[in-house]
Chain A
């Protein structure tokens, strides 16, 4: 059983955080809320997503698992106006989700969860450095790097967090000392990442005032932020590239 009402905006941005990596996802539903763990087809980036029951205005659920085509859900929420509420109701027997929004009533066929890629195992990583900054700043840096190269390095050097991109001929570097950051835990960190992935991940993150980056040396980066006033937690993990000689 699952029936819930929520701000359409919150659900829309929740789906966005997933659809940057995957087209379809398995949602675990429990009395606590919704959660998703998904990995992109190339196994380079994964997302963990939790939306607590407190993010909803009404929430009633038993434990179950459903599969949804995110592109279809995105399309449905495209019609939503600001501050509109959406109500979701699951019909387990027919495996359909009814979505009521702005006077529309949609019936969405669900996907058999077993046909969607299994939930990935999450690597347990000790990442020495941590940086907290505004999502806008991060997106600005990624956009600057995209003009120069296909990948960028992120690292911490003493009290400075830096981002660097080097193309065939040109180079760009941005340094942010501790006082320009919200928080910094210094540690040995420098890793190279594909901008294809980074620019997709940074899109939803840019709407958050506080994005936490955890970094190591030639290690994956963890990018975390919250939505819905802390009731929604999103965390990405992106595998690094090895610098070519």
Chain B
């Protein structure tokens, strides 16, 4: 079985255009909904596989104090821009924007953003000190020695981060169904844990 990596939105558009995929694992509920509404996935097989958390990171040697409360002066906590996924379409950015809004920090931060096409770029900017702060997934920050986690954002501040998975609509093979089951196996769970994801559905 071959793997195709990409942004959730790009992959969804490819599947919509008829790309020969058996399985779709998305970082965004929106795009899964988009495909489901157009009948591109087998909705009976759709489940929420994984979860994740958001963290605020800073360059390893330039940390700062951060309290997750509306009264905290986020604007004065660091200089320059806040790196995050593009809130207009990157799932990580969408969650981050929701958290900022829930904390009441959005007015102060809205024009101090550095929107990236993906979380990798966010990490790169924080690592290089271009941005004093960034919002990424726990799974990205824990494995990166060049950034430090300054705060963990509670799930309550944004819609749940869910990674849904489903079989693509149309004739499927037994192998594809088996692969879906494997993703939910204890062995797979251990791997996901190790990389900072939370597993939602056990077999």
- A, B co-complexed: no
Which residues in A have some Cβ–Cβ distance to B below 8 Å?
none
